[in-house]
Amino acid sequence: MKQTAKWEKEFADRFEARFDELKGLYCEVYNNDLQAFYWLTGAMHEYYQKRNASLKKLDRQRESTPFWYSTNRLVGMMLYVDNFADNLKGVKSKIDYIKESGVNYLHLMPLLKSPKDRSDGGYAVADFQRVQPELGTMKDLEALTAECHKNDISVCLDFVMNHTSEDHAWAKAARKGDEEMKKRYFFFDNWDIPFQFERTVPQVFPTTAPGNFTQLGNGEIVMTTFYPYQWDLNYGNCVVFNDMVCNMLSLCNRGIDVIRLDAVPYIWKELGTNCRNLPTVHKLVRMMRIISEIVCPSVLLLGEVVMEPSKVAPYFGTKEQPECHMLYNVTTMASTWHTLATKDVRLLRLQMLQLSELPKDYVFLNYLRCHDDIGWGLDYEYLSGFGMSEIPHKKFLNNYFTGKFEGSPSRGELYNDDESLGDARLCGTTASLCGIETALSDKDKKALQKALDCDIMLHAYMLTQSGIPVIYSGDEIAQLNDYGYHDIPDKKADSRYLHRGKLDWKAAEKRSDQKSVEGAVYQALLQLESIRRSHEVFTASADFSVINTVNDHVLGIRREYQGEKLYAFFNFSEEEQPAYFDGILSGKELVSGEEIRGLSETLKPYGFMWILCDNK
C-alpha cells in the first residue's frame, strides 16, 4: 500500500495505524468498492492539508491527553445564536459573559443554511458549506471558534447527517430527474415498497408529521422519517457517505471541536426492520471515528441517541473499537423530572446504580433542559411494580408539568399530543417547570424561595453526575417561558419555541444581585461550578455508587477519587426530609462550609448537601 509515500509523516503514521480496519469496514459496507474508498482517503488527506496550524497544534495536544474531556473542569452551555446574541459576531462579543458564567464548552445549535419556513429549527440543512445568512458567514464562524480557542472554550456544532432539506442541491437535482442524485435518497415510483416499510418502521412525529414517506407533485415517493421537507439520505450509497464525511471534515476545519451526530440511530435503512440502531449504523460511526482520528484527532464525536439505555450505551463502541466519545444522558434527564413530580427517587436511584456499573471511560453529557421537548421514555416495567402504568403515568406527568394537577406550581405546554395513544411530550424552561413563573405571578415570596431552591437543587444534582454538565442558555438566570411564539405564524404550531426565547440581556444585568431571581440562580450556579472544578472527586472517571438514605424522597450518591470521598444528598420533596448515613459521617458541607458529624441530617424542602468526608 504505497498511497502514503508522498504524504506528510504525521498524517501517514495516523493513517497506516488505522488503515486495515478502515478499509475492512468500508469494503464490508460498500461491497469492496475500492475506487470509492481511495477517493475518500485522498479527500481525507486534502482536508488534513487544509487544516490550519493552530488546529493541528491542538490535535497534537489532545492526542497526548486523549481523555481531556472527562475532567471535572468542563461546563457546557447550549444556545441558539440568534436568541443569544443575534448573530455569530454577537456571540463573539459575548465571550466575556460566557467565561464569567463558568462555561468552557459552547454548543451552538444548528446554524447552517436552511429554509426559514421549513427548517425544523435548523435541522433541515440546504447547504453544509454556508451559514444561515442572517447569522453570518463561514468566516464569522471561524473567527468565533478561533476566539473561543484563545479563551480555552471548546465549540460543539450539530451535524445533521440523517437527511437534507428538500432545498439542498442534491434534492433539487433529484426532483428534476437526475438519477444519480435520486440514488442519494430513497425514491420510489409507487407505494408498494413504502407500504412495506411502514409495517415495521415507527413514526417519529405521528401528530405533526405522520408516516415515513412523502409523495411529491410528480407522483414519486421519497422517504422522510422526520418531516416532509427533510429527505432521508441513503447511506447504502457510498457517495453519500463520502460526501457527508467531507462535509463533517469541512466543519472540523472551521474550528469545531465537537461534532454532534444528529439522529444517528436512524441513518441506515433496511426493509423489514424498524430502521433504528441497525448493526451497520455502528460500522458507519466507527468509520467516522477512525477518519476523525486520522485527519483531526482533537475533534470529538457526540452521539444524539434519544432512546432507552440498552440502545444508548452501544454507541460508545468497545475499548478496541470505540465509536462516539460522548453520549447524551437522556434517560436520567427524563427521570429527573419524573422524580420531581412524584417526589419518589426510586427510579432515579435505579438508574444511578445502572450508570455506576458502566465503564469509567463512558462520558455522558448531563442536562436538565435543552432545545428539545421532554419525552417520557421511562422504565415502565420497573415503575409498574409501584402501580405506575405507562399511559396513566404519562398523563399524570404532563398534567403536573402543565399545572393541571392540583397543587402543581409548574408551567409547561405539551408537544405532539397524540390522544389516540394517550401520549405527549413536554416543553418549558427549567425555571417555569420548577415553579418560579407561578410564584412570581402570584407574588408569593415563600413559594418563590421554594421554587428557587428546587431549580438550584436540580442543577446541583446535574453537576454531581459523572460527565459534562450542560446548561441551556437562559437557565443560568432562571429565564421563564416565552409565550410570544403563539403570535408568530411559522412557530406557533411548535410548542418547543416556548423554551427557545431570546435571552433577556436586561434580566442578565441582575446576575450579580443575589436578591433578584436572576442573581440568586446565577450566583448559586457559579459557586457550585467553582466547587466542582476544585475537587477531583467530580471527575468523570471517579467511582460512584448509590447511598441508601432510608428515605424515598432523598437521593444519595457517593463519589470517590484518589483519596477524596464525597457524599451528596438531594431532597426531591417540598417538605423537610431526613437523610440517613451509612454509619457516622464526618466531613465538611462544601456549599455552606458547615462541619458535619452524625448519623443523619435534615434537608430543607428541595435542599441538597455536598459533604466532603474527612475519612476519620
How many angstroms separate the Cα of 239 from the Cα of each of 130, 284, 454, 542, 569? Answer: 21, 13, 51, 43, 52
Which residues touch 53 (CB under 8 Å, ≥6 apart)?
none
Is pLDDT of 307 > 80? no
Domain boundaries, the chain: 539-613
Q: How confident is the model at residue 523 (pLDDT cuts 50, 70, 90)?
A: very high
Residue 31: what pLDDT?
97
For residues 112-136, average pLDDT? 94
Q: Does residue 166 have an active-site annotation?
A: no
Residue 304: what pLDDT?
94
Q: Cell for 380?
A: 415502565
Lowest mean pLDDT segment, chosen from 103-112, 410-419, 553-562 = 410-419
Is pLDDT of 27 > 90? yes
Q: Percent of the chain having pLDDT more than 90?
A: 91
Q: How confident is the model at residue 420 (pLDDT cuts 50, 70, 90)?
A: low
End-to-end CA distance of the chain: 62
Q: How confident is the model at residue 324 (pLDDT cuts 50, 70, 90)?
A: very high
Q: Cell for 79?
A: 444556545
Which residues touch 407 (CB under 8 Å, ≥6 apart)?
none
> Per-residue pLDDT tens for 255-272?
999 999 999 999 999 999
Residue 306: what pLDDT?
84
Q: How confident is the model at residue 421 (pLDDT cuts 50, 70, 90)?
A: low
For residues 325-351, average pLDDT? 96
Q: How confident is the model at residue 364 (pLDDT cuts 50, 70, 90)?
A: very high
For residues 404-416, average pLDDT? 95
> Per-residue pLDDT tens for 43-69?
999 999 999 999 999 999 999 999 999
Residue 398: what pLDDT?
96
How many angstroms separate the Cα of 95 from the Cα of each of 98, 100, 255, 506? Answer: 5, 8, 16, 17
Q: How confident is the model at residue 3 (pLDDT cuts 50, 70, 90)?
A: low
Which of 293, 304, 344, 453 is the catalytic position? 304
Is pLDDT of 616 > 70? no
> Per-residue pLDDT tens for 574-595?
999 999 988 889 999 999 999 9
Q: Percent of the chain having pLDDT more than 70?
A: 98
> Per-residue pLDDT tens for 179-224?
999 999 999 999 999 999 999 999 988 878 899 999 999 999 999 9
Q: Does residue 243 have an active-site annotation?
A: no
Dihedral sign, Cα of residue 96, residue 99, residue 101, residue 106:
positive
Q: Cell for 217?
A: 407533485
Distance (Å, whole) CA 283 – CA 29: 8
Is pLDDT of 2 > 60? no
How many angstroms separate the Cα of 296 from the Cα of each of 76, 242, 256, 271, 303? Answer: 22, 16, 10, 35, 18
> Per-residue pLDDT tens for 555-566?
999 999 999 999
For residues 461-471, average pLDDT? 97
Is pLDDT of 1 > 70? no
Is pLDDT of 615 > 90? no
Which of 82, 166, 232, 262 is the catalytic position? 262
The closest of 87, 157, 164 to 125, measured between CA atoms, is 164
Lowest mean pLDDT segment, chosen from 139-153, 301-315, 445-459, 560-574 = 301-315
For residues 115-136, average pLDDT? 94
Residue 510: what pLDDT?
98
Other Cβ atoms less than 10 A from the Cβ of 577: the count is: 23
Q: What is the mean pLDDT of the chain?
A: 95
- For residues 421-434, b (16+ Cβ closer than 10 Å) or e, as one string? eebbbbbbbbbbbb
Q: Which fold has domain 539-613?
A: Immunoglobulin-like (2.60.40)
Alpha helices by DSSP H, listed for 384-467, are 390-401, 430-434, 436-442, 445-464
Residue 6: what pLDDT?
84
CA 180 and chain centroid, separation: 34
Distance (Å, whole) CA 155 – CA 300: 10
